[in-house]
Amino acid sequence: MHNQLQEYIPANATPLVLKLLEHDNLSIKVKTERKTRHGDYRSLPNGKHQITINSNLNTYRFLITLIHEIAHFEAYNAYSKLIKPHGKEWKRTFQHLMLPFLNPEIFPNDLLPLLAKHFKNPKASSDTDAPLALALKQFDEPNNKTFIFEVPLGERFKLYNGKVFQMGEKRVKRYVCQEVKTGRIYLFNPNAEVELMNQITQIK
């Protein structure tokens, strides 16, 4: 499976990635899209370790997600399972593993400054870094999704789970939106991807 990863990552990243995966007890599985996560890492009861990554990610997001999960594996081995999932040990490991990839032979020049800034203090998900998430989106396959910060005030939008919301005002860093059916208030990160209701109507 490791060699098959070449179709999912930038070509020049392949030798570095394969070197990181030289572990007999670590397996990588490419999965169909999961709406709630790009990838995950698990320590299995039999002593093996497994990483799964969504197949629909563009090559740059796939690579970032893969190194993110390998950092969990490396941090687990170095510091034990008692550390916080995205604590200082994981952050240091992720920074160390990612550094050799941050060059123009692997990432486009316009992504490198955003990546350099992100990896000064990497978060649990690159999706919470709005500028980076927006820059990465340009390499996705075209779809009918819209970022929350692009939704006009008062417009209705739909999530992947079918729930419909009405767009509200921005509060500090997140947007206040009301679920139409229940009236409950939710806060959305600016780079959450949604479907505008008028776009859904036009497609039908």
DSSP string, 117-180: HHTTS--S-GGGSHHHHHHHHTTSPP-S-EEGGGSPTT-EEE-TTS-EEE---EETTEEEEEET
Query: Which one of 120, 137, 154 terminates a domain?
Result: 137
**167 vs 35: which has the higher pLDDT:** 167
Is 50 in the same domain as 105?
yes
Q: Which tokens sit at 101?
A: 């990839």
Is residue 82 over pLDDT 50? yes
Query: Which one of 137, 165, 193 terminates a domain?
Result: 137
**192 vs 65: which has the higher pLDDT:** 65
Nearest to 58 by CA among 131, 113, 107: 107
Tokens 């930038």: give the residue. 10
Average pLDDT, the chain: 90
Is 22 in the same domain as 66?
yes
32 confidence band (pLDDT: 50, 70, 90): confident
What pTM did the predictor assign?
A: 0.82
**Domain at 151, CATH number:** 2.30.30.30
**pLDDT score recorded for residue 198:** 73
Query: Which one of 81, 115, 137 terminates a domain?
Result: 137
Is 116 in the same domain as 160?
no
**pLDDT score recorded for residue 204:** 40
Dihedral over alpha carbons 50, 56, 57, 62 (to 10 degrees): 30
Alpha helices (runs of H) in the chain, residue ranges in sequence order: 14-20, 59-79, 88-98, 112-118, 130-137, 197-203
Is 161 in the same domain as 74?
no
